[in-house]
Structure 1
Amino acid sequence: MASLALVACGESNNPDGGSESGGDGGSVDVQGTLQGGGASSQESAMTAWTQGFGSQAQGAQVNYAPVGSGGGREGFLGGEYSFAGSDAAMSDEEWEDSKEVCGPDGAFHVPAYISPVAVAFNVEGIDDTLNLDAETLAQIFAGEIDSWDDEAIAEHNPDLELPDTPITVVHRADDSGTTENFTDYLSVAAEDAWTWGAVETWPEDITAESAQQTSGVVDLTTSTDGAITYADASQVGDLNSVAVQVGEEYVEYSAEAAANAVASSEPVEGQAPNNQAVELKRDTTESGAYPIVLVSYHIFCNEYSDQETVDLVKAFEEYVISEEGQAAAEEAAGSAPLSEDLRTQAQEALEQITVAE
């Protein structure tokens, strides 16, 4: 089995296997450098996690490159990273490929970060939250609605005076799990208006502006009057946002509303036995649920080539899913903490990581 990259800085102090996890402010007896990469939406949370874990495991270091979900999965499958961060679960084909580096059970997903995807805009003259339904959003991002005073927008916002500013759609230029989550919502909740399906790469036949990574689309939208984009809610800064119609109400993004949407999700079938990926219900009508939500995963191997790597991977992710780790991410990124059930399932999944024979 090909091994994933991990640069060890010393021998593990736990040679019998099984990490001594922190998460409660205690020390963690592991050493080494763990290389990961992937979703830029996780960047703020990852900074909090690496700092928190580093304070407990002073002989260990975690490096994370925010190269986008697609780049993270590609680097993981190619042996560049020991784990990947991804806003989209692996496809069945990717999971089959993961067996080449992860053994017969391949890779598995642990939910690390639950966050709403904000639909954010910058329009001079609109200083309030906009109310929009899925069909209108789909028509805007498809380029069919191209002015902010369009009657479809006005219908949902009768008390606002809308300017005739042209709409500039801004999307991710790189392969992005955030793009996949957003277009998945459009394809399910407004299937007649959005015909491209759920895609990681923005459709080439839609005329729009683009930028690299989450920070890029936020910066471009912030500097462009009339612009609208989609981005992890933790990183939209001072941009205004859209409240999405769910049933008979309009729901603004929040960590609580995102968690309500995830609560109605179903597990993904057919991959590793300990896989924790979920299928989100984008057309939910549950009161208080915000359906444009992403579950950002950490993707790990079920087998690594040595005990040091196994111990370090387990210790780091046990911190991430702990109450302390989730609180750190919530403070840094506004994410929704994992439920106790999800935390327990994730812990059980991590315990199945072994050394390849």
Structure 2
Amino acid sequence: MKLQRNGRTKALAIGAVALVSTLSLSACGSDNNSTSSSSTASGSAPAAAPAAIACAAKQAPMLGAGSTAQGTAIDVWKTTFGAACSGSTLNYNGVGSGAGVQQFNQGKVTFAGSDAALKPAEVDASKAVCPGGQGVDLPMVGGLVSIIFNVDGVKHLVLDGPTIAKIFDSQITKWNDPAIVALNPGATLPAADIQAFHRSDDSGTTQNLTAYLAKTSGGAWSYPAAKTWAGKGGQSAAQSAGVSAQVKSVKNSIGYAELSYAQSNNLDSASIATGASKPVDATAANAATTIGTAQVVGTGNDLALNLDYATKTEGAYPIVLVTYEIACDKGNKAETLDTLKSFLTYTISDAGQAAIGDKGYVPLPKTVASKVQALIPTLA
């Protein structure tokens, strides 16, 4: 099915349009599992807008749910898209990747956001809500998982896979443990207990971190990569915002969250010793180096990626993530199909990716974006 366009393409000027906001996302997205906030394609006019967005000939309101890692990106996109296409609203609930996929497979949302590709069982379940097709993974938001810390007297910290695994599995419990000291010569590490925080909810962020640990810890992380936390000890908090808030408020603590949360909370991120000539800082540019080498491992219309968490390439930050938008390749609801394709066409465009580049995200490299751009018009 061809992407339908209205008779004219609506140009966007900076600050030209402001829409009434209902329950808009905060700067870091929604992070309450029990009473998840929602957002509509509304808000103040964007600081920068693409020259044009192709609105659907048949505009409609859409529902989305899932990843909080992409919450700020969705907030940026819905504002710009809603300003261009006033008949196309988006209400997105940041309930976490696991809950988002569940809602998609229950037919409750137009698309889901997930920090991890669909599992075979989830693909099978999606066939019930995608008549004649199935749910597919569309890479849309690049990012990285920061190892955030709040250690008394320490502003720069170097860690590696085995050490991170042992910290989050309560095998290393003091900040002045010899393993941490060896990675940080010259640093004054306190003889304090480590307060480690992990996600309490099923999370694609957790899956990406544990995939890294499974590949790089030399067996110190004995659990499989999974959305559900399996490490021993530590304390839990709901969603990335909850983990970030705890690390910010608790001295001598450590946790993990997307770079956007580290930045918005003014939290320090550990550099990672990967086997390259020097530790790699948690920056978007360094994450892009890793994402650019990702290979498509999905079959058919599925664009699930294989990320090289064990990379030793110079300047390649290893704990990366790609957030997918999950939609039906065939069997999408007719009333929202055109709007869905219009929205996704914008978000994967050069302008859409550039719009989230200063929000702690990693614009997807052309090697990945071009595949998504070619697939979206075929959604039916």
Q: Which runs of 4+ in 1 moved over 6 A?
A: none
Q: Write the mapping of 1:297-312 to structure 2, written as runs, cut at 5 A.
A: 297-304=324-331, 306-312=333-339
Query: In structure 2, do the counterparts of structure 1 residues 26 and 193 end up closer, same or farther at CA, with 3 Å as the change threshold?
Result: closer
Deviation at 1:308, TM superposition (A): 3.2
Query: In structure 2, do the counterparts of structure 1 residues 313 and 124 end up closer, same or farther at CA, with 3 Å as the change threshold?
Result: same
Name the structure 1 match of 2:344. 317
Name the structure 2 match of 1:267. 296
1:235 corresponds, among 250, 253, 261, to 261
Name the structure 2 match of 1:143. 170
Q: Can you list the C-alpha shifts for 1:283-338, whole angstroms capped at 9, x where unaligned?
A: 1111110110000110111123543321011001011111111111112x221112
Query: In structure 2, do the counterparts of structure 1 residues 34 and 281 end up closer, same or farther at CA, with 3 Å as the change threshold?
Result: same
Name the structure 2 match of 1:4. none
Query: In structure 2, do the counterparts of structure 1 residues 146 and 79 end up closer, same or farther at CA, with 3 Å as the change threshold?
Result: same
Aligned equivalents of 1:48 and 1:77: distance in 2? 26
- Between structures 1 and 2, the one with greater strand share: 1
**2:260 partner amino acid:** S
- Are the aligned partners of 1:112 and 1:296 in contact in 2 as well (CA < 8 Å)? yes
2:225 corresponds, among 198, 206, 222, to 198
Please tell me whether residue 71 in structure 1 is matched to residue 99 in structure 2.
yes
Name the structure 1 match of 2:273. 245
Task: Say how many residue pairs are matched.
Answer: 334
Please tell me whether residue 277 in structure 1 is matched to residue 304 in structure 2.
yes
Structure 1: where are the runs of 5+ without partners? 1-15
Deviation at 1:275, TM superposition (A): 1.2
Q: Give the secondary-structure state (helix, strand or coil) at the position aligned to 2:255.
A: strand
Aligned-residue sequence identity (percent) comes to: 36
Aligned equivalents of 1:269 and 1:109: distance in 2? 8
Aligned equivalents of 1:268 and 1:191: distance in 2? 25
1:81 corresponds, among 103, 106, 109, to 109
2:63 corresponds, among 32, 35, 44, to 35
Deviation at 1:235, TM superposition (A): 0.7
**1:296 partner amino acid:** T
Q: Give the secondary-structure state (helix, strand or coil) at the position aligned to 2:355.
A: helix
- Are the aligned partners of 2:63 and 2:90 in contact in 1 as well (CA < 8 Å)? yes
Query: In structure 2, do the counterparts of structure 1 residues 96 and 191 end up closer, same or farther at CA, with 3 Å as the change threshold?
Result: farther
Q: Give the secondary-structure state (helix, strand or coil) at the position aligned to 1:136.
A: helix
Query: In structure 2, do the counterparts of structure 1 residues 287 and 315 end up closer, same or farther at CA, with 3 Å as the change threshold?
Result: same
Q: Give the secondary-structure state (helix, strand or coil) at the position aligned to 2:128.
A: helix
- Are the aligned partners of 1:185 and 1:282 in contact in 2 as well (CA < 8 Å)? yes
- Are the aligned partners of 2:291 and 2:365 in contact in 1 as well (CA < 8 Å)? no
Aligned equivalents of 1:60 and 1:101: distance in 2? 22
Aligned equivalents of 2:73 and 2:4: distance in 1? 22
Cα RMSD (Å) of the superposition? Answer: 1.6
Aligned equivalents of 1:26 and 1:184: distance in 2? 37
Q: Can you list the C-alpha shifts for 1:221-251, whole angstroms capped at 9, x where unaligned?
A: 1111111001011112211111001223200
Q: Give the secondary-structure state (helix, strand or coil) at the position aligned to 2:102.
A: helix
Structure 2: where are the runs of 5+ without partners? 11-49
Deviation at 1:268, TM superposition (A): 1.8
- Are the aligned partners of 1:184 and 1:199 in contact in 2 as well (CA < 8 Å)? yes
Greater mean deviation of Cα atoms: 342-351 or 60-69? 342-351
Q: Give the secondary-structure state (helix, strand or coil) at the position aligned to 1:192.
A: coil
Q: Give the secondary-structure state (helix, strand or coil) at the position aligned to 1:59.
A: coil
Name the structure 2 match of 1:257. 286
Q: Give the secondary-structure state (helix, strand or coil) at the position aligned to 1:303.
A: coil
Query: In structure 2, do the counterparts of structure 1 residues 74 and 147 end up closer, same or farther at CA, with 3 Å as the change threshold?
Result: same
- If asked which structure has higher relative contact order (CA below 8 Å, sep 6+), I would say 1
Aligned equivalents of 1:104 and 1:74: distance in 2? 19
Greater mean deviation of Cα atoms: 149-158 or 297-306? 297-306
Deviation at 1:17, TM superposition (A): 5.3
2:3 corresponds, among 1, 14, 18, to 18
Query: In structure 2, do the counterparts of structure 1 residues 77 and 124 end up closer, same or farther at CA, with 3 Å as the change threshold?
Result: same
- Are the aligned partners of 1:304 and 1:310 in contact in 2 as well (CA < 8 Å)? no
Q: Give the secondary-structure state (helix, strand or coil) at the position aligned to 1:54.
A: helix
Q: Can you list the C-alpha shifts for 1:164-183, whole angstroms capped at 9, x where unaligned?
A: 11101100000000000001
1:334 corresponds, among 357, 360, 374, to 360
Query: In structure 2, do the counterparts of structure 1 residues 44 and 305 end up closer, same or farther at CA, with 3 Å as the change threshold?
Result: closer
Name the structure 1 match of 2:127. 99
1:222 corresponds, among 248, 255, 275, to 248
Q: Give the secondary-structure state (helix, strand or coil) at the position aligned to 1:350.
A: helix
Deviation at 1:19, TM superposition (A): 3.0
